């Protein structure tokens, strides 16, 4: 009896040890994968071999737990593009660790994060094999994990084309030009340019990345004041809404009667209309979208993604400390 108990304890101890070793190995892979040039963050050959060796030796739910625990999602709750990625993660039910990265106070421009995501924005998804820095890439990657949303009934050709169309629309530019927060966005962007310039001076090896980021931010400031660009952004939105209204008149969801990633990427677009108080202007004559959106709001994923921005108190708790920090740094001019 004693020997049997001892044997069982040894088996349990061995199994736990294997899990701990596997997690340590995967953690090592993540750090190893951070090293790369620009947007190429592929793991080395030996790391991939080690990764698949671990998976081969952990069957069933344990293997899935190891995979899922490696997902790290960098998010900012009030931002447009991260919402698309988080919706996909929630709809697929993938386990991930969420880390908040502030897009306004300069945190996303810190060297450690710029090495992770050279764009200096969120979302960023660290998987077991690579680092994804575009919301569209994240949505597609997430949908490939297991069965895709909507299954085989979805119109896959439409879904692929729709993803590209919606991704091409700049929801941030729309918000800057169509909300009371437009002035704040400009103020924050000018502050971030100074922060990036300071980092470029202190991190000579990364100066090219920072110069590119600075150029992009200056472009944003120019586009906000460019009437032609603003009008093109509006027309692009109208085209998306017209197509969605037409399709929703024929089916429950955009790609048919099942929810797909076409709905995932479109949800933040409709949400942005309400958050900027432009829903009456764009949706009064589009009753199909309004009805569709009411249904989307009942999905568990919706609340998990938008609960912070839906709460004035929660949103203020993020924005006010950021604005205070920006004011203080601008005052002492130590970026």
Residues of the chain within CATH 3.40.30.10 domain(s) are 2-144
Let me know if 249 is exposed, middle or buried by CB neighbors in 10 A (0-12, 13-18, 19+).
exposed
288 and 254 in contact (C-beta within 8 Å)?
no
22-36, 158-172, 207-221, 264-278: range with lowest mean pLDDT: 22-36
CA distances 213 to 74, 119, 168, 253, Å, are 19, 7, 19, 37
Q: What is the residue-averaged pLDDT of the chain?
A: 84
Residue range(s) in the chain whose domain bears CATH number 1.20.1050.10: 151-332
Beta strands in 105-198 (DSSP E): 124-126, 131-132
**What value does the mean pLDDT take over residues 283-309?**
97
* pTM of the entire predicted model: 0.79
Task: Check residue 68 and give its pLDDT.
Answer: 45
Residue 16 has pLDDT above 70, yes or no: no
Cα atoms in the 13 Å half-sphere on the side-chain side of 150: 22
Count Cβ atoms below 10 Å from residue 140 Cβ, excluding itself.
Answer: 18
* Beta pairing, strands 131-132 & 97-100: unpaired
Do the beta carbons of residue 129 and residue 43 sit within 8 Å?
Answer: yes
On the question of pLDDT at 144 being above 90, the answer is yes
* Predicted local distance difference test score (pLDDT) of residue 152: 87
Our CA angle for 208, 213, 218, nearest 5°, is 125
What is the DSSP pairing of strand 72-75 with strand 97-100? parallel
Q: Is the pLDDT of residue 48 over 80?
A: no
**How many Cα atoms are found within 13 Å in the side-chain-facing hemisphere of 309?**
18
pLDDT for 99-110, tens place per residue? 999 999 999 999
- More confident site: 61 or 202: 202
Confidence at residue 89, expressed as pLDDT on a 0 to 100 scale? 98
* pLDDT tier for residue 69 given thresholds of 50, 70 and 90: low
Please give the class, per CATH, of domain 2-144: alpha beta
User: Domain 151-332 is of which CATH architecture?
Assistant: Up-down Bundle (1.20)
């Amino acid at each position: 009896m004693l020997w049997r108990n001892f044997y069982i304890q040894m088996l349990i101890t061995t199994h736990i040890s294997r899990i701990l070793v596997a997690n340590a190995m995967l953690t090592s892979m993540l750090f190893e994968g951070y090293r790369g040039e620009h947007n190429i963050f592929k793991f080395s050959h030996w790391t991939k071999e080690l990764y698949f060796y671990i998976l081969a030796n952990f069957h069933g739910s344990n293997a899935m737990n190891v995979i899922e625990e490696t997902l790290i999602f960098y998010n900012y709750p009030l931002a447009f593009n991260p919402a698309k990625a988080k919706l996909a993660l929630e709809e697929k039910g993938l386990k991930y660790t969420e880390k908040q990265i502030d897009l306004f106070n300069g945190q996303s421009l810190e060297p450690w994060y710029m090495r992770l995501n050279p764009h200096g924005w969120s979302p960023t998804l660290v998987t077991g094999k690579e680092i994804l820095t575009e919301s569209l890439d994240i949505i597609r990657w997430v949908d490939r994990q297991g069965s895709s949303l909507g299954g085989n009934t979805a119109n896959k050709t439409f879904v692929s084309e729709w993803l590209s169309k919606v991704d091409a629309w700049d929801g941030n530019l729309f918000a800057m030009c169509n909300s009371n927060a437009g002035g704040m966005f400009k103020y924050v962007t000018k502050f971030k340019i100074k922060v990036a310039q300071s980092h470029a001076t202190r991190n000579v090896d990364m100066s090219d990345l920072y110069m590119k980021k600075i150029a992009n931010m200056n472009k944003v400031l120019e586009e906000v004041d460019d009437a032609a660009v603003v009008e093109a952004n509006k027309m692009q939105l109208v085209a998306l809404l017209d197509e969605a209204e037409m399709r929703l008149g024929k089916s429950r969801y955009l790609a048919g009667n099942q929810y797909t990633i076409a709905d995932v990427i479109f949800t933040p677009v409709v949400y942005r209309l309400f958050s900027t108080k432009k829903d009456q202007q764009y949706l009064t004559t589009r009753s199909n979208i309004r009805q569709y959106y009411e249904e989307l709001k009942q999905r568990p994923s919706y609340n998990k993604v938008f609960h912070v921005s839906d709460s004035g108190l929660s949103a203020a708790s993020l924005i006010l400390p950021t604005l205070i920090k920006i004011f203080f740094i601008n005052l002492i001019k130590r970026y």
